[in-house]
Chain A
Amino acid sequence: MKASAYSAARRRHIYAYLSILPAILIIVLFTVYPVLYNLDLALHKNVLTAPGKHPFTGPKNFVDVLKNPGLIRSFKTTAQFTAVIVVGDVILGILIALLLNEKFLGARVLQVLILIPWAIPVVMAGIIWRWMFAGNVGVINGLLYSLGIIDKYYSFFGNPMTAKMALTVARLWKDVPLATILLLATLQVIPHELYDAAKIDGGGVWAVFRYVTFPFLRPTLTVLLILETLIGFVTFDLVYVMTGGGPADATMLLAWYTYTEIFTHLNLGRGAALAFIIALLTLVMAVFYFWALRSEEIYQ
C-alpha cells in the first residue's frame, strides 16, 4: 500500500513537471538569459562603433546613465504623463461605466461600441490620432476651421503642450474602454437593495455614489491604477508613430528614451545599464502596488 502511494506521488510529480516544462523552458530562455546577458553588457564597455574591444568597466555605465540629465527630464515627462492618464482613465472610466449601467437602449449599443477602441492595436490607434491632429489633412483642424474657431490650420505636433495633449488623448481613447468594461462588471454585482435603502435614507446622488457605489469599485480602481501606471511607463509605440519624442523632447517618455539611447547612440553597454535601471524601477513600483493590493484585500 505504501509503495503504491509512493509511486502515485512519483507519477503525479512526473506529470506535473512535464506539464509545466514547455512554459518554463520558453520563459527561462527569455527571462533568465536576457537578464544575465544585460548584466554582462552593462558591466563592460560595449560600443558598436568600436567592435571587438570590451574591457570590464564595472559600474561606469550605470554612473554615466544616471548622470545624464536626459534621464531625469524623461523621468519627469513620464511621471507627468502617467499622472494625467491615470486620473483621466479613472474619472472617465467611472463616468462612462455609470452611463452604461443605466437601463436604456443606448447603453446596450454602447456596451458593444466600447470594445472597438480596445480591440484596435496601439500602433494603429496612434496612426489614426496622428492623422486626426495633423496640420495638413487633420480632421480636427478641419472641424475647428469649419466652425470658425481657427482661421488657419494649426500644427498640434509643433507645440510641446498640444503634442503632449494629442498623445494623452490617443492613450485615453485606447485605455478608457478597458477601465469601463471592468468597472461596469463591478457595478453590475452591486445589490439593488443597497441603492433602494440609500434612497429611503434620503441620500442624494453624491452620497449614494460615495457610500454605496465607491466602496464596491475600490478594488477594481486599485487594479486600474496599477495597470495604467505601468502603461505610462512602458508607452513606446504611441510615441513612435505620433511624435517621435518631440517637439523639443516634450514627449520623450522613458521607454522611448531608452530605445533612442540604445539605437541612435549604439552604445550597448549604456543601453543595458539603462534597461536595468528601468526594469528595477518597474519592479519597485510593482512590489509597492502588490503591497497596496494586499492591504486592500485585508481591508475588505
Chain B
Amino acid sequence: MRMSIGKRIFLYVMSVILAIWLIGPILWIVDASFQLDNELFSIPPHWIPHNPTLDNYKYIITRVPPPAYDYDPGQIKMGHKASGEALAAIPALKNSFIVSVATMFLNVAISVLAAYAFSRLKFTGRNTSFSFIMLSRLIPAIAVAIPFFAIIQRLRLLDTHLALILVYLAFTLPFTIWFMTKYFDFMPPDLEDAAMVDGCTRFQALTKAVIPVVAPGIAATGAFAFMNAYSEFLFAVLLTKTMASKTVPVVLSAAAINHDVSYALASTAVVLAIIPPIVFALVFRNYITSGLSMAFGK
C-alpha cells in the first residue's frame, strides 16, 4: 500500500523535529567543544564556530596548555578559568573503564552461573533465595548510602576501584540474574541433556553446550552491567576521594556545579565521556533492543 504525499510529508516533518530533539543537545556540545570560551559567550551564539579549534582536545589529552589558554588580562580568553575538573577527564575515563569492564565480566560470570541453577535445577530454598535476590533490588540506593560507606570503610576499600565494583555488582546482579533466568527458561534443555549423556558434568554442559547458544542474552547482560557501572553516580561520589578512583560522572559533576569552569573545556570533556557508551550502544544495538523488549515485554 502506497502512502499519500500528505502523510509522507507529515512523517518527514515529524522525523526532523524528533531528530533535532534527540541529537540536537549532543550536536551543540560537540559544536561547543570546537570553540573557546570567548566565542562560546558571544550573543547570539555562533552556530558554526568562526574560529574552530582543536585546542580544547589537545589541552585535555596532553594536559599542556595551548597558547590560546595563556592568561591575557586585556582579552577574555580562558587561561584564568578553573579547569582542573575537566582536565582530569582522561584519568577519570581510565578509572571508569577499569570499574565498568570488571563489573561487566564479573556480573556475567556470576549471573550466568546463578541463573542457570535457578532455571534448570530443583533445589531446596530455590524460590526463597530467588525472591530474596529480587527483593534486594527494591531498596533505593539513597536509603543504604550510610551503611555502604561504613562497610567499604571497614573493609579498608575507600577510594579504590574494588569498592565500586563490589557495589555495582550488588546493584546489577538482581536484574541480570532475573533476565538470564528468563532467558534460560526459553531455551529447550535438549542440548545440555545430550552433552550430559555424552559424559559431561553439569558445569561442562553449561560452558560447552549452553553458553554458545545463549550468547545474545549474555551480550545484553554484559551491556547492561557495563552501562550501569559507567553511569552510576551516587556511590561513585560517596566512595571515591582522589583521582585514584574518581570516575567520569564524579569529575564531570564537579565541573558542572563549578560556576567558574571553562565551558569549552568542560564541553570537550563531556564529549569524550559520552563517546564510549554511545559506541557501545550502537555496536550492541540489536542485542540491547531485543534484550530490553524480552525483559520488559512478554
Contacts and interface: CB of A to CB of B under 8 A. Distances in A.
Interface of A: 12-13, 15-17, 19-20, 22-24, 26-27, 29-31, 33-35, 37-38, 41, 96, 99, 102, 104, 106-107, 109-110, 112-124, 126-132, 136-137, 139, 142, 145-146, 153, 173, 177-178, 181-182, 185-186, 219-220, 223, 233-234, 236-237, 240-241, 244, 255, 258-259, 262, 268, 271-272, 275-276, 278-279, 282-283, 286
B262 to A, nearest CB: 11
A255 B140 contact: yes
A244 to B, nearest CB: 7
Given A99-B18, A182-B292, A275 B114 contact: no
B147 interface: yes
Nearest to B40: A137
Interface string B106-145: 0000110110111001111010010011001011111111
A88 B143 CA distance: 27
Give the interface SS of chain B, mostly helix, strand, loop or mixed: helix
A186 B170 CA distance: 30
B257 interface: yes
Nearest to B273: A124
A117 B278 CA distance: 9
A142 B45 contact: yes
29 contacts: A20-B117, A20-B118, A29-B151, A29-B166, A30-B171, A31-B144, A33-B151, A37-B147, A38-B147, A104-B8, A106-B11, A110-B18, A116-B281, A120-B277, A121-B249, A123-B233, A124-B273, A127-B253, A132-B28, A137-B41, A153-B43, A181-B289, A220-B296, A234-B141, A237-B249, A241-B256, A262-B145, A262-B146, A282-B140
Contacts of A16: 117, 121, 123, 126
A31 B139 contact: yes
A127 B140 contact: no
B290 to A, nearest CB: 8
B298 to A, nearest CB: 7
A33 B293 contact: no
Given A240-B233, A241-B253, A110 B278 contact: no
B296 A124 contact: no
Please provide the 6 A-B residue pairs with the shortest distance between their CB atoms, ordered closest to farther.
Answer: A185-B293, A34-B147, A121-B231, A119-B281, A106-B15, A30-B170
A185 B117 contact: no
Kindly name the residue among A127, A177, A237, A282 whose own CB sees the greatest number of chain B CB atoms within 10 A. A127
Nearest to B43: A145
B197 interface: no
Contacts of A145: 43-44
Nearest to A145: B44
A121 B282 contact: no
B249 A124 contact: yes
B277 A286 contact: no
Contacts of B277: 119-121
B54 interface: no
Interface residues of B, number: 92
A236 B123 contact: no
A219 B296 CA distance: 9
B162 to A, nearest CB: 12
B187 interface: no
B71 interface: no
Contacts of A220: 296-297
A31 B141 CA distance: 11
A15 to B, nearest CB: 5
A147 B238 CA distance: 43
A262 B141 CA distance: 14
Contacts of B21: 173
Given A31-B170, A223-B296, A275-B144, A115 B281 contact: yes
